[in-house]
Structures are given as structure tokens and as C-alpha cells.
Chain A
């Protein structure tokens, strides 16, 4: 019983991690960029959402609907203003640029919002739970998981079946060849980052509802996203989703073994995958 409960908790936690990881998988897949600001953007969006809810007196769902387009706009700008200048065969320039930006962003958030932890009032939904057989399951985590699944399926469908998705896959396969058939790589990249950060609008809302956020929390989310993407296999969206589930389950089971061991258990599984199957669980060797 103990274990089944742990697994269920882990899957639900994985839903949140999947929302962190999807955008990172997308950006890595097409640009080979690891965006170090990824976690800070979750926090930035969450803080914007909390302030906005406070100021306008709106509920969490309205915050969600506002944060997604704000995230998309931030992502688009980030790509156009910074990342398009540093993207290329060499991964180092983008790593350095986003690392610097991450520190600047954390400091800026500290100035604007101070180091206090904040959260988004959810109007009681945080406490609600349903009884499924012998288990009590929180309503909010279930909503998070359902959203994560729909986002993953939706993104996968966009990549498979739309004009934009085809141009993105072409650019991932061979960006110069894609340009030679008329694809504008910079525009493809800007849209990819807009989608990636737009999805963080979901992650930010749910993170702020289920727990608290503070300006320095970003790096944890970056690490979870990164671990999920590596476990699942770089660049595939269902891989990232499954990686997030494995990470969530590892942490939840670790937590059952000993409360201090939860996060570490996730890191250990990540390291084990890196050692045994560095291409990720779902990536075929190329």
C-alpha cells in the first residue's frame, strides 16, 4: 500500500516536472541549446502571476490564462534579442549567455519581489482530494497531470502534423538544408522558444498554487527539467514526459524511504541513467 501510494504521488509530481521539461526538450531538440534561465522563468512568471492576482483580484485560472501568453512573449523576445545571436554548432556561447542572464534575472527578481516566499491562493482547491479505491488523491495534482498529458500530446501533434512542426523537425535534422528549402531558422527558433516559455506559464501557475516560490528557487526547477529530459532521451517530447514521471516516482519513493532522501533519490536515478544509457531511456542509439 505504502508503495502504491508512493508511485501515485510520484506520477502526480511527475506531471509538474513534465511541464518544466517539455520546453527544455523542445529547445534542446531544435537548437541544441540548454537554456539556463529555464527555472528562473518559471519563478518570474509565478511572481508576475501572484502580483497580478493580488493587484487585479483574479483567481488562479485567470492567472493561468494570462501567464501563458506573457510567457510566450517573453520566450519570443528572449530568442530574438539574445539566443538567436548565440545559437550555433558550439553550445558554449548560449550556455554562457543564459548562465549570465539567469544570475541577472534572479537578482532583478530579488530587487522587485524581495526574498520572501509567496504563493498563489487557489480558493480551496489545494486542499481538495478525491477517494479512489483505498487512496486519497489531491484534485490539484490530478489537474496538473492531466494538463501535462494534454500539453505533451498537443505539442507532439503540432510537431507531427502542422506546417510549423515539419519546419521545426527539418531545422532540427539539418538547419542549413532547411534554410535551403526556404525555412527561416530564426523564425522557427523564436516560435519554439515562445512555445517553450508559454508552457512554463502552466508550470508557474501550478508551482505557485501547490507550494511557494521565491526568487532563488529557479535552479531547482532547472535541474528537475534537465534531469527529466536526460532520463527520457534528449529532444523527444514523450521522452521528456516519461523522464519526468520516472524522476517524480524516484523522488516520491525516496521520500518514503526517508524524508531527506527524496530529492537525492531523483539525482541518483538520473546519474544511473547517465552512466548506463547516456542517450536516455527512449532514444535509440544513433
Chain B
């Protein structure tokens, strides 16, 4: 049984439906990539799972239980955390305070707990910047804080929304190099990623979304570039 799954998930904003029946699943320790053009519905999927959008209970299952529409803070406490699009750090607070808010409201640790020290070992620059207000950090450092905050929630599933967006390639490599340490202890990772090459390389499985539907799903190593571009741009849709 999957750790986290969605079943015919419908979600949207007011009258506008953005997801039209998504079936998605991730297993413990697995890394799943979620790709798709801008506006395909990737962030909406993560937000719906997290309880940030109204969805029916049975449409999201976590650990075998229906959890759709559960308030976000309860999702965190049951073991689902998110690194949101645009980082969303608490401005006016230091790096350390941002991390502390997360550890003070975390789920019960399921495995070796993430500590502030472990996060600093993962991203050593943050140790130097511990007392710096987050608004004074570079984009890459801010993303590290956002990931650290996600880890300190002690998640069993971590949902990451475009963590490479706007960062220098060197910083992206540094951040992606840290991810295996997260899955090594059984945490599942869902990576929303614009860079298809990076998404394939970092994941075991991959989903492609187009206009609120899954157009491709499979083992990342099996999927060809052509399959992806057809699913990504909807070439196959145009044909039939």
C-alpha cells in the first residue's frame, strides 16, 4: 500500500477547476517527480494534498486513512510537510527562529529525528547565518531554510515545489545532493520540478501533468524524451 495517494482528485479555485481527477501515489523512501508546463496544476496538487484547498476526504489517503480536506497544521502533525512554491519564509525572523517554529510544531519523529544541527550539517552555510534575518539571505540560502523547515516538521512525506527555481546551477546541485539523505531514512519525496532532466535524474518515478490531468506516468529511467515532450506539450492530445 502507498504511503500517500490521491484518487480521482478534484480541486480548484472557486468555480475554476484546476485538477480533473488525479491518481497519484508515493511509497516510503521513494522519490517521485512531478513535471508539467506552467499552469498544469502541479502546485495545486500539492496544495490540495496539504489541505490548503477544499477536497473530499476519500480523494487523499495517507497511511491508509482518508485525509482529504484536513487542515494543513493537522497534516503536518500526521507527517506530511511541504516546501512551498516561493519559499514563504517568515520575514522579520532569523534563520534559527524560522527553523524553530517548525520544530516546535512538528510531527512525532518516525525515524532518526531531524534536528537543527542535522539541518546545519546538511546546509553548513545556514549555521553561519543562524542569526541573520531571512530577508537578508540569498535565494539559495532562503531555499535551504525552507527545506530545513520542511525537514524539521519530521515528515514521512515531503512535498517540494520547484526548489530549484531561480537558483544558480551550483546551488541547485548542492541542494539536490542533499536529498538522498532525506530519503535514506524512509521519508518519501515528491519533487515538483521545471527542469525535466533534473527531475528524471533525481527520481525513481515520474508523473507529467497537463491542464489538470496526468498525461504520463512511469519509471523515470524508462521514459524517453519523446514521451515526455508529448505528455508535456499535449502533442498526443492534439492528434486524437
* A181-B72 Cα distance, complex, nearest whole Å: 8
The stretch from A119-127, A161-169, A271-279 touching chain B is A161-169
In the bound complex, do residue B104 and residue A166 qualify as a contact, i.e. CB atoms below 8 Å apart?
yes
* Least CB separation from B77: chain A residue: A182
Residues on the B chain within 8 Å of A173, using CB: 89-93
Q: Known interface pairs A166-B101, A167-B104. Does A179 touch B73 (Cβ–Cβ under 8 Å)?
A: yes
In the assembled complex, the CB of A53 is this many whole angstroms from the nearest CB of chain B, namely 41
Residues on the B chain within 8 Å of A184, using CB: 71, 73
Residues on the A chain within 8 Å of B153, using CB: 181-182
Is A92 at the interface (CB under 8 A from chain B)? no
Is A178 at the interface (CB under 8 A from chain B)? yes
* A185-B105 Cα distance, complex, nearest whole Å: 12
* Least CB separation from B134: chain A residue: A173
Is B3 at the interface (CB under 8 A from chain A)? no
In the bound complex, do residue A169 and residue B90 qualify as a contact, i.e. CB atoms below 8 Å apart?
yes
* A179-B102 Cα distance, complex, nearest whole Å: 10
Is B217 at the interface (CB under 8 A from chain A)? no
In the bound complex, do residue A170 and residue B101 qualify as a contact, i.e. CB atoms below 8 Å apart?
yes
In the bound complex, do residue B90 and residue A170 qualify as a contact, i.e. CB atoms below 8 Å apart?
yes
In the assembled complex, the CB of B66 is this many whole angstroms from the nearest CB of chain A, namely 20
Residues on the B chain within 8 Å of A185, using CB: 73
In the bound complex, do residue B73 and residue A167 qualify as a contact, i.e. CB atoms below 8 Å apart?
no
* A184-B81 Cα distance, complex, nearest whole Å: 14
* A184-B149 Cα distance, complex, nearest whole Å: 16
* A184-B101 Cα distance, complex, nearest whole Å: 12
In the bound complex, do residue A166 and residue B149 qualify as a contact, i.e. CB atoms below 8 Å apart?
no
Within 8 A of A (CB), among B74-90: 76-77, 81-82, 84, 88-90
In the assembled complex, the CB of A184 is this many whole angstroms from the nearest CB of chain B, namely 5
* Least CB separation from B52: chain A residue: A176
Residues on the A chain within 8 Å of B84, using CB: 177, 180
Is A137 at the interface (CB under 8 A from chain B)? no
* A183-B107 Cα distance, complex, nearest whole Å: 11
B50, B71, B100, B106: the one contacting A166 at CB < 8 Å is: B100
> Most chain-A Cβ atoms within 10 A of its Cβ — which of B77, B82, B90, B93?
B90
- Given contact pairs A173-B92, A179-B71, A181-B102, enumerate 20 new A-B contacts (beta carbons under 8 Å): A166-B104, A167-B101, A169-B93, A173-B90, A174-B90, A174-B91, A177-B88, A179-B72, A179-B73, A180-B50, A180-B52, A180-B76, A180-B84, A180-B88, A181-B81, A181-B149, A181-B150, A181-B152, A182-B153, A185-B73
B interface residues with partner A (beta carbon < 8 Å): 50, 52, 71-73, 76-77, 81-82, 84, 88-93, 97-98, 100-102, 104-107, 149-150, 152-153
A interface residues with partner B (beta carbon < 8 Å): 163, 166-167, 169-170, 173-174, 176-185
What are 28 A-B pairs at a CB distance below 8 A? A163-B104, A166-B93, A166-B97, A166-B101, A167-B104, A170-B98, A173-B89, A173-B90, A173-B92, A173-B93, A174-B90, A174-B91, A176-B52, A176-B72, A177-B88, A177-B89, A179-B71, A179-B73, A180-B52, A180-B72, A180-B84, A181-B76, A181-B101, A181-B149, A181-B153, A182-B106, A183-B101, A184-B71
